[in-house]
Structure 1
Amino acid sequence: MKMISGKRLIYLIFMALSIACQKVPAGSDCPCGTETGTTSVCFSIQTAEIKSGSRSSMAINDKTIKSLNIFVYRDGILAAEVYSDNTSPASIELASGGTYNFYTLANTGRLAAPAEESELSSYRYRIQDTGDLESKGLPMSARNEGILVEGPGKRIDIFLERLVSKINFKINSGAISGLEVSSVRLVNSPKDVAPFIPGGSAATEVIAGDYATSADISAVNSGKTATFYMLENCQGELLPGNKDPWYKVPEHIPSGKAGLCTYMEVEAELDGSSGMAGPVKYRFYLGKNETSDFTIVRNTENTVTLITTEDGLGKISWKIENGDLLPVSIPVVVAADNGIIYYTREDGTLEKTSAGSANWNDVIYASGRYVFVGENGNIAATRDFSSWEKATSGTSALKAVTYGENRFVAVGENGSISYSTDGKSWKQVSTGTQSWTDIAYGNGIFVAVGNSGTRSWALGWSEDGVSWTSKSSSSYKNICKSVTFGDGKFVGVGDRASYSGTSGYSTDGKNWTLNNYAGSVLHYCVTYGDGEFVALGRNESILSPDGISWDMDNFPMLSEPHGITFSDGIYAATGNKTSTKSGFIVYSSDGSKWFSAVEDDLGTDRLNSICVMERKP
């Protein structure tokens, strides 16, 4: 039984409010004329789309904006406020040269702005009942702070985040026959939310929650999903240290909190075919896990599955698992051919830049900087993608880079190995004539894999990245493409053997156990995260909890993957489509199902490697 918090929703729908001047080209400032000493400010609104499906008791269009309140503050005092019902102009005049903070509330109806900005820290939006979510639309909020307003016109891009969570419910009753669900509802649904405190709003009042309609009950009993909506409710970890999910009941929750924590109530009937008959009712508190946490975060999607077990109704268990959708805003960096680099901007879109003209083969973030390695010994380092420190280390192509023992270590062709303590100044050593393809660090040792000649493959290891031991063997074919470290072991993937992919594992990096059965194709890259090793090949992903036994999924959108990484519960991969050569970036919460969340044209340059960007506080 496992519980994981829901993931941020993806895909952006761009929707510009009507503005009291000419149409504004994307990315430009508002061109409206103003009076002397003032700037005309207009707004561009962006919202995240939620996947369509069952709507339970509410017929909701997830992307509709029915109303907008924008509160503007300067030096802590209300400077302006504007209300729009999405048909009237949404522009305001502000004194030029000032720095302003903008607070936006959508789908709340007209609201009065507090006179002082400090009041927003305790500001709460309240609904009368769940019908408000349907009639007014899903409430959303945004904060734009420290905005310098100057010039004749200024456009503010507002990225709205829903203040609700989407809860999907389904049932897996295969172990107990004759279980028919008759009712599903949310209890203690939040009545209020603090819109300008992201991830920290706990309900102070509750109402009767959303519920499943008769049509939804029929869908649930046929294996489909019912969907519910609720305001954010971050009550936090109220049972710290608890490991027993059956202990997560009202009598154990701190005084005054039980009635504010949201739970799901399911009523069902047993028809006797399982040896039991009669009604049964189950309740379970929602949260980030099944034992101690009571937090449901805004703008997330969660799936609750009721699983019946073979040893009776008293052992029905619950789990929370990730929704199918991923953050479009997961920040990534991609290294590509011809000096091209992509990175995620603060607004979630991709920025294309370049650092020279070398083919960049790998990228890593460590020690406060991004380090790229590429052809002809080229190396580039940056902290912010605006200024670069470039170097060369030899003339051979560098294929991969890692970090450990307080140094960067890169490997490449002709036995070339380079190391640096700061990513700027590099020294080179050689292991011979091997063509190293990848390197990983773990358990105090660096491990490199690659080729050493015709029908011969290489393995190397070093405790400091400087002095190396290397061996050649035909058996290293199984690990010659990529290597990673996780769960106390190194795991590598290699060339195809007969009709299957290959892999191997080692606890010390020197002595390997090799496996000829890992999927059906050769795999280009492998990583570890969230208890799983995940490797990618052409149209295929393979997964293993231990690096020994692998499960395979066919996924055509993977085409030809070149790089994979993991961070914060998300796998990210990059590569090129086989037919068109166009680049792609895809995401997955489980390493099995992959989704493209990037609509940008990534061209046809080869995308070689990907890493997750540093998340700014």
Structure 2
Amino acid sequence: MGRFLRSAVKSVTTVPLGAVADLMMRSGVNYRPTGTAVSRAAFPELAAEFPPSGQGMFAAVMNAAVGGTWASVTYGNGLFVAVGENSTIGVSQDGLSWTVIMYGETGRHYTDVIWAGGQFIAVAGTDRCVTSPDGYTWTLRMMPAAPAGTTYRSIAYGAGLYVAFHGSNTTASSSYATSPDGINWTARSLPVGVCWRIVRFAQGMFVAMATTNTANYVTSTDGLTWTARGLHIAGYWESLCYGNGVWVAMSGGLAGVNTQLAITSHNGINWTTRTLPVVSSWSDVSYGNGHFIAVSSQSTAGSSVMLTSSDGIWWVARTVPIMNYKATTFGNGLFVALQGYVQNGVAAAAGMTVYLEGATSDFMYLGCKVQWNGKPG
């Protein structure tokens, strides 16, 4: 049963858990279909029950002009920017309406994008990145060639330096590249060679982790001198983020291996194992509005799952619209998660599919699942 809410003047009804139905407001006078945004000012009684603090979270699936395989998404300078295969870049001011830009050679695959140092920068292939001051106009930059069998997979910015790591799921690398401006790059060496997957900067420190079931990782305070470290447990470390004073790393799936493994750290050095409530192929994790959200690239014809956590330690599984989620970020009061690749018969939608969760100070987003005070409605 859906939860029925009342106010002194009006009443609203939420849909049953998991149902795909309308949300009824104003005693049935006004309907809004799943997947639309409603103004808080227009529906004050609903706004009061579901504040923008994250107590009540809404989901919606939106379609943009073109589908694709998306690898990474970021938010900066008032803009969402997503990158993916075949030189595809998606740009949105609100996370709802997207413009698709094709920049670069056919077949060039962007793998990671960030907003840092006053510009967007995305890495691609064995020797290139692109930069943009506004998300719409891009410039190609050359980078040191990645070792044979590897490509640039991740980029971070900190201590006045861009740091880009290359790797693959099968070939180890002991080198990386740095740049003070995203234009002029220098090849550098690492103290250990593994299949690097991701690098991030927070707490005054770079942390880089690898996939292919390894416990090796490295840290650096300046991006130039690195310390090789060992985790207490091996994993397929596909994603890494920092929020609320906590580093969170998620172990994804490789060659059909899925996990329910995550690790957390307050300093990037001492880590603790966390057991997730669901076994899946965790592809990305982000933080915003007091919540971590982890998405999975594994879907079946029947369901998809997402995890949420306020502290990175205790996680709750959420049933979400069916997609193979690849990348997520937070911005403009919204979590945005993008579809990755076709898997287990779950095909890409006719347009770019975006999952939105959260409520801004101005709007609420309605969907097939409504949370009531953090619990299923």
Q: CA deviation at 1:544?
A: 1.2
Residue correspondence of structure 1 range 64-213 to structure 2 within 5 A: 90=27, 145-146=41-42, 158=46, 161=49
Asked whether the 8 Å contact 1:570–1:590 carries over to 2, the reply is yes
Q: 1:609 to 1:462 in 2, by over 3 A?
A: same
Residue correspondence of structure 1 range 83-482 to structure 2 within 5 A: 90=27, 145-146=41-42, 158=46, 161=49, 327=55, 329=57, 348-384=58-94, 385-395=96-106, 396-434=108-146, 435-451=151-167, 454-471=171-188, 475-477=192-194, 480-482=196-198
1:487 is the counterpart of 2:214: no
SS at match of 2:194: helix
CA distance in 2, matches of 1:548, 1:144: 43
SS at match of 2:211: coil
CA distance in 1, matches of 2:313, 2:187: 34
CA distance in 1, matches of 2:63, 2:297: 18
1:592 is the counterpart of 2:291: no
Q: CA deviation at 1:454?
A: 4.1
1:520 is the counterpart of 2:239: no
Q: CA deviation at 1:551?
A: 0.8
Aligned mate of 2:248, from 534, 542, 548 = 534
Q: CA deviation at 1:542?
A: 0.5
Asked whether the 8 Å contact 2:144–2:186 carries over to 1, the reply is no
State the number of aligned residues: 304
CA distance in 2, matches of 1:552, 1:144: 40
Q: 1:440 to 1:327 in 2, by over 3 A?
A: farther
1:573 is the counterpart of 2:302: no
SS at match of 1:562: strand
CA distance in 2, matches of 1:582, 1:471: 44
The CA deviation string for residues 256-287 of structure 1, in whole angstroms up to 9 with x for no partner, is xxxxxxxxxxxxxxxxxxxxxxxxxxxxxxxx
CA distance in 2, matches of 1:579, 1:534: 26
CA distance in 2, matches of 1:436, 1:582: 32
> Alpha carbon RMSD of aligned pairs, Å?
3.5
CA distance in 2, matches of 1:578, 1:475: 34
Asked whether the 8 Å contact 2:172–2:193 carries over to 1, the reply is no
CA distance in 1, matches of 2:164, 2:299: 28
- What is the letter of the counterpart of residue 182 of structure 2? G
1:549 is the counterpart of 2:270: yes
SS at match of 2:61: strand
Q: 1:355 to 1:15 in 2, by over 3 A?
A: same
The CA deviation string for residues 226-259 of structure 1, in whole angstroms up to 9 with x for no partner, is xxxxxxxxxxxxxxxxxxxxxxxxxxxxxxxxxx
Q: CA deviation at 1:406?
A: 0.8
Scaled by the length of structure 1, what TM-score is found? 0.44
Q: 1:579 to 1:45 in 2, by over 3 A?
A: closer
Asked whether the 8 Å contact 2:218–2:227 carries over to 1, the reply is yes
- What is the letter of the counterpart of residue 201 of structure 2? F
CA distance in 1, matches of 2:302, 2:135: 32
SS at match of 1:591: coil
Which stretches in structure 2 are left out of the alignment for 5+ residues? 18-24, 31-38, 252-258, 334-359, 362-377
Scaled by the length of structure 2, what TM-score is found? 0.70
Q: Percent identity?
A: 24
CA distance in 2, matches of 1:91, 1:352: 25
Please name the residue that 1:503 is paired with: 217
- What is the letter of the counterpart of residue 46 of structure 1? T
CA distance in 2, matches of 1:515, 1:581: 41
Asked whether the 8 Å contact 1:393–1:426 carries over to 2, the reply is no
The CA deviation string for residues 20-58 of structure 1, in whole angstroms up to 9 with x for no partner, is xxxxxxxxxxxxxxxxxxxxx996423999xxxxxxxxx
Of Structure 1 and Structure 2, the greater strand share is in: 2
The CA deviation string for residues 381-409 of structure 1, in whole angstroms up to 9 with x for no partner, is 11133251523133410000011121001
- What is the letter of the counterpart of residue 224 of structure 2? K
Which stretches in structure 1 are left out of the alignment for 5+ residues? 1-11, 18-40, 50-69, 73-89, 94-142, 148-155, 163-197, 200-299, 301-325, 330-347
CA distance in 1, matches of 2:302, 2:145: 31
Higher relative contact order (CA 8 A, sep 6+): 2
Asked whether the 8 Å contact 1:406–1:421 carries over to 2, the reply is yes
CA distance in 2, matches of 1:518, 1:581: 35
